[in-house]
Amino acid sequence: MSWSAVAAAMAVIVIGAMGLWSDDERELTPVATGLSAPTTTPADIDACPLTVPGNDSFTPAAETPQMSPPDPRAVWLGTPQLWTSVHPEGEIWSGLPIAADGSFTQKTFWWSVDIVSITDPLPGITFTAERLDASGPSVSARRVTSGGNPEQGVFVIAGFQIPDVGCWRIAAEYGDSMVSFVAWVGS
């Protein structure tokens, strides 16, 4: 796939996703002014066990569109029932929008063979984020919706509001499948 095709696919994803979030939901994730997140050091990142997929690459089921992850550098991670894409060297999220409450906002994209149409009701997928390097409560995805395009098929978008910088396990559960990855949330 060419870079222009990837860029076009990502534009469709972003534009489509923006249309699926209500005005109230979009207002939850403005970039705030006057808020500052705690400063992190490289040692903090080094201590985070980022998920780095191995050589056992995952290929979505034949029933799904024959697709590549939205980011050409990413690889699939998951099971035949539920999957997502991650950067092969680990997910490092920095420069994220900051909500009015000071939390960092991030959308994650997930696929399942059971989601075949953007108009289908969302299956019972649960999404959580758990802090690994400090104590604190887990957070659930704040917003969940669906989206799709011809190149990436139909997917679920889970929007998180992560309360602080650090090492976080992002998990999705659906039926008998649980897929998770560890990401660093930086400022």
Torsions phi, psi of 13, nearest 5? -60, -50
Q: Which of 170, 186, 160, 166 has the alpha carbon at shortest distance from 130?
A: 170
pLDDT per residue as tens digits for the range 13-52:
433 444 444 333 333 333 333 334 444 444 489 999 999 9
The domain segmentation of the chain, as residue ranges, is: 3-185
Tell me if 130 sits within 8 A of 45, measured CB to CB. Answer: no
pLDDT at 161 over 90: yes
Name the β-bridge partners of 154. Answer: 148
pLDDT at position 25 is: 39
Distance CA 9, CA 150 (A): 8
pLDDT digits (tens, 9 = 90+) for 59-74: 666 555 556 677 778 8
- List pLDDT tens digits, range 111-154: 888 887 777 767 788 999 999 999 888 999 988 888 888 778 88
Q: If you ran DSSP here, which 8-state letter would residue 121 be given?
A: P
pLDDT of residue 65: 54
pLDDT at position 117? 79
